[in-house]
Amino acid sequence: MNLTLAELSKLAIKAAFNQNWQEAIEINSQIISLDENNLDAYLRLGLAHLQQQDYSKAKKAYSKVLELDPINKIALDKMKLVKEKKTEDFIVPDNDSLLKEPGNSIEANLEILTKGITADKFKFDENLILKVNGKTISVHRDDDKQSLINYLPDPIVKGILKAQSLKANLTVKFIGGKDKKIKVLVNSNESVFPSEKQDIKPYIKGIGEAEMPEMTELVSDNEDDTKKIEVEDHQEDVEQPID
């Protein structure tokens, strides 16, 4: 199956978030074979080689970036690491990189309620579980349906209930976070969520930075718009998971 450059780029980003550096190298190399001046792919390729401490190949990738963009700040900074034969801890940034469609997708910022679970326990794009309890909907880990993450805010709940009435397919995925704070993306194959303004970001030159790669995104203002309770005091009623 032949994938488009956009599809390959998304796979390359996912590989980097999961720190699958060899896979990231292979996918970005494939992108470059299709588009020899793809700046974003060279930046991702350089990062992958740097993480593998293959400094000669990292230098080659970043040199190509500087050939295409001589004042590229990320490439200039990474070249200093290459010269000193150093690498740096890979930090998964807060992610807004998934392709989202107005009305079909919406983000939520949640604070994990269950003890012993933090953002570093999740994988990028990990599927989560939604459970309906009356007019509230909670989010749980797929590998432990009893571990409560948090409750979704009302605007998203209304959209999910509408999706259910339309028999739409729903998914919820982990897309970023740190410590007890995470961001999830809820998707429906029907338009059920409020349409938010779209913004196009240029590729942020390095996934290891606190910045994000190129993707169409929706800007969500749902910061801290969650219902918080203490897990110790929470008595779960009979809940119906959403398939």
59 and 135 in a single domain? The answer is no
Are 172 and 127 spatial neighbours (Cβ–Cβ below 8 Å)? Answer: yes
| pLDDT at 206 exceeding the cut of 70 | no
Residue 90 lies in a domain: no
- Asked if 109 and 179 touch (Cβ cutoff 8 Å), the reply is no
Contact between residue 60 and residue 29 where contact means Cβ atoms under 8 Å apart: no
How buried is 233 (Cβ within 10 angstroms: 0-12 exposed, 13-18 middle, 19+ buried)?
exposed
The pLDDT value given to residue 232: 36
Considering only 22-26, 61-65, 176-180, 224-228, which range has the smallest mean pLDDT? 224-228
In a domain, 95, yes or no: no
63 and 12 co-located in one domain: yes
Say whether both 192 and 114 belong to one domain: yes
Q: Is residue 97 part of a domain?
A: no
- Which amino acid is present at 68? L
Residue 100 lies in a domain: no
How many whole angstroms separate alpha carbon 213 and alpha carbon 209?
A: 10
Q: What is the pLDDT of residues 31-85, one digit of tens each?
A: 999 999 998 899 999 999 999 999 999 999 999 999 999 988 889 989 999 999 8
Residue ending a domain, choose from 84, 115, 134: 84
Each residue's pLDDT tens digit, 159-179: 999 999 999 989 898 888 888
Q: Are residues 127 and 182 in the same domain?
A: yes
Structural domain ending residue among the three candidates 51, 84, 117: 84
Distance, in Å, from the CA atom of 38 to the CA atom of 33, rounded to the nearest integer, reads 9
Residues 141, 187, single domain; the answer is yes
Task: Give the other-Cβ count within 10 Å of 150's Cβ.
Answer: 23
Q: Both 157 and 213 in a single domain? A: yes
Model-wide pTM > 0.85: no
**In terms of domains, do 123 and 158 share one?**
yes
Give domain status of residue 12, yes or no. yes
For residue 195, give the DSSP letter: P
Do you know the residue count of the chain?
A: 243
133, containing H or E segment? strand 128-133
Region 177-205: mean pLDDT is 69
- What pLDDT is stored for residue 153 in this prediction? 92
pLDDT value of position 102: 62
Say what the pLDDT of residue 159 is: 92
Per-residue pLDDT for 209 more than 70? Answer: no
CATH number at 45 reads 1.25.40.10
* In 69-169, alpha helices (H): 73-84, 154-165
pLDDT of 229 reads 34
Total count of domains within the chain: 2
The answer to whether residue 93 sits within a structural domain is no
Q: Which structural domain range is residue 122 located in?
A: 105-242
